[in-house]
Amino acid sequence: MRRGLTLFLERYNSGKNILYTKMNAVQDHQMFDFGVLRELRKREDLTIEDVSSRSGVSAAVISKLERNQTKAELETLFRLSRVFGLNAADLLNLAESQTSHRTHSDDYESGAFQFRRIVYANFTCFHGKAKKGATVSRPEIHQDDNELCWVLEGSVRIRLPHEQHELGAGEAIQFDAILEHTYEATRDCVLIIVHLPKPKRF
90 pLDDT above the threshold of 80 = yes
pLDDT of residue 175: 93
2 pLDDT above the threshold of 60 = no
Q: In terms of C-beta distances under 8 Å and separation of at least 24 residues, what long-range contacts does 77-85 make, across chains too?
A: 77/23, 79/55, 80/37, 80/51, 80/55, 82/55, 83/44, 83/46, 83/51, 83/54, 83/55, 84/40, 84/44
pLDDT of residue 97: 58
37 pLDDT above the threshold of 50 = yes
Q: Which residue has the higher pLDDT, 9 or 68?
A: 68
21 CB-near residues (< 8 Å, 6+ apart) = none
Domains of the chain with CATH codes: 2-96 (1.10.260.40), 106-197 (2.60.120.10)
Q: What is the DSSP string of the chain?
A: -HHHHHHHHHHHHHHHHHHHHHHHHHHHH----TTHHHHHHHHTT--HHHHHHHH---HHHHHHHHTT-SPPPHHHHHHHHHHTT--HHHHHHHHHTTS------EEEEETTEEEEEEE-SS-EEEEEEE-TT-EEESSS---SEEEEEEEEESEEEEEETTEEEEEETT-EEEEETTS--EEEESSSEEEEEEEEESSS--
Closest among 103, 157, 151 to 128, alpha carbons compared: 151
Lowest mean pLDDT, pick from 73-77, 98-102, 116-120: 98-102
Q: Which residue has the higher pLDDT, 68 or 16?
A: 68
pLDDT of residue 140: 55
Average pLDDT over residues 98-112: 81
Q: Is the pTM of this model over 0.75?
A: no
d(CA 130, CA 115) in angstroms, rounded, equals 9
Q: Which residue has the higher pLDDT, 202 or 123?
A: 123
Average pLDDT over residues 154-177: 95
Confidence of residue 145 (pLDDT cuts 50, 70, 90): confident
Percent of the chain clearing pLDDT 70 (strictly above)? 78
Confidence of residue 102 (pLDDT cuts 50, 70, 90): confident
Confidence of residue 152 (pLDDT cuts 50, 70, 90): very high
187 pLDDT above the threshold of 90 = yes
d(CA 34, CA 55) in angstroms, rounded, equals 16
Confidence of residue 121 (pLDDT cuts 50, 70, 90): confident
